[in-house]
């Protein structure tokens, strides 16, 4: 750690310095975190237990739910702790570890969303060949590639932190240790690190955005060519939820990592949106807008109720 910093901890300013507001924020974000865990764990459980959902679309959705749990768990527990503590500190190693897993989860989710866009394209444009095109080896390879891309991107960027010396202020004007918020604290020139982060983020965007744009251009074309309004509605329902998630997550994340860091409140709001709110909304979007998921959830609840009634009768 001597090569990394001259002090042993950072101070996270968080979202507010007012004690009363912090208490309200603690309750609010605790509810959000618990709902995120319950919602995504329920999605994983429903997908694993219902054989009707053992298709590629829900294979990706199960991994997305797991990623959302990881993404929110990287920052939320420490954020909740700091809401109640006077000294809102995080160790230097803890800060670097948090930034590593934060970037890993974010990059992996961006990559997974592009894979899900291609899956939607295959489902709408090639419905008869869907299970052939999106076979299990391809789905596994795409998910592995998403995790691998996130790991490599995070590893490279966090390794280069060790080239910086943090000998000035240790106060981070953020609620977590995101890399863009660490660079202004360096007393050595962080230009190379900023260029690497912006370049890797742009590269990830150029790698995944064309696939998303291609997939949705083909999807829109295929939907418009469907004669029946019922068929168009079903095709649109299949992919509109995924497009909503992409717009919520992708745009804000790219804006945060490509634009210069200013330490403004807007940056913290944007970070909350893609690292906290999106993880909360994903299971709601996919469960409320997807008839198959709602039907599977109802079947699981009926089975549990029947099992409970049998146990009570016995």
pLDDT tens, 188-238? 888 888 888 888 888 888 888 888 888 888 888 877 776 666 666 666 666
Give the Cα-Cα-Cα angle 196, 176, 103 (nearest 5 degrees): 40
Residues 28-82: pLDDT tens digits? 999 999 999 998 998 898 888 877 778 888 899 899 999 999 999 999 999 998 8
| Residue 4 pLDDT grade (very low, low, confident, very high; cuts 50, 70, 90) | very low
Instruction: Copy the structure tokens of residue 199.
Output: 């370049």
d(CA 202, CA 206): 6
Tell which wins on pLDDT, 256 or 278. 278
Q: Which run of H or E residues covers position 12? A: strand 9-12
Compute the mean pLDDT over every residue in the chain, rounded to the nearest whole number. 81
Q: Which of 22-26, 151-155, 213-217 has the lowest mean pLDDT?
A: 213-217
> Is-above-0.75 flag for pTM?
yes
d(CA 266, CA 290): 33
Share of the chain above pLDDT 90, in %: 18
């Amino acid at each position: 750690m001597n090569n990394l910093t001259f002090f042993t901890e950072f101070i996270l300013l968080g979202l507010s310095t007012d004690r009363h507001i912090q208490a309200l924020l603690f309750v609010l974000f605790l509810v959000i975190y618990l709902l995120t865990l319950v919602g995504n764990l329920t999605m994983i459980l429903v997908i694993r237990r219902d054989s009707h959902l053992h298709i590629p679309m829900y294979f990706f959705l199960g991994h997305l739910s797991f990623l959302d749990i990881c993404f929110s768990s990287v920052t939320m527990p420490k954020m909740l702790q700091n809401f109640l503590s006077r000294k809102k500190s995080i160790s230097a190693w803890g800060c670097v570890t948090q930034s590593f897993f934060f970037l890993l989860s974010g990059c992996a989710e961006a990559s997974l969303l592009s894979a899900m866009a291609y899956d939607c394209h295959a489902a709408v444009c090639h419905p008869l060949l869907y299970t052939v095109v999106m076979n299990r080896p391809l789905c596994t390879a795409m998910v592995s590639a998403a995790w691998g891309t996130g790991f490599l991107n995070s590893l490279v960027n966090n390794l280069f932190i060790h080239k910086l010396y943090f000998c000035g202020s240790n106060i981070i004007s953020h609620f977590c240790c995101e890399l863009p918020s660490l660079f202004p604290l360096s007393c050595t020139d962080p230009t190379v690190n900023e260029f690497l982060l912006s370049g890797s983020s742009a590269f990830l965007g150029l790698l995944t955005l064309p696939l998303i744009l291609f997939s949705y251009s083909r999807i829109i074309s295929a939907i418009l060519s469907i004669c029946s309004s019922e068929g168009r509605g079903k095709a649109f329902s299949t992919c509109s939820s995924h497009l909503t998630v992409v717009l919520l997550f992708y745009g804000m994340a790219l804006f945060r990592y490509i634009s210069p860091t200013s330490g403004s409140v807007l940056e913290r709001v944007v970070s909350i949106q893609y690292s906290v709110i999106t993880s909360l909304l994903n299971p709601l979007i996919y469960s409320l807008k997807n008839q198959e998921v709602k039907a599977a959830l109802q079947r699981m609840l009926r089975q549990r109720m029947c099992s409970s009634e049998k146990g009570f009768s016995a």
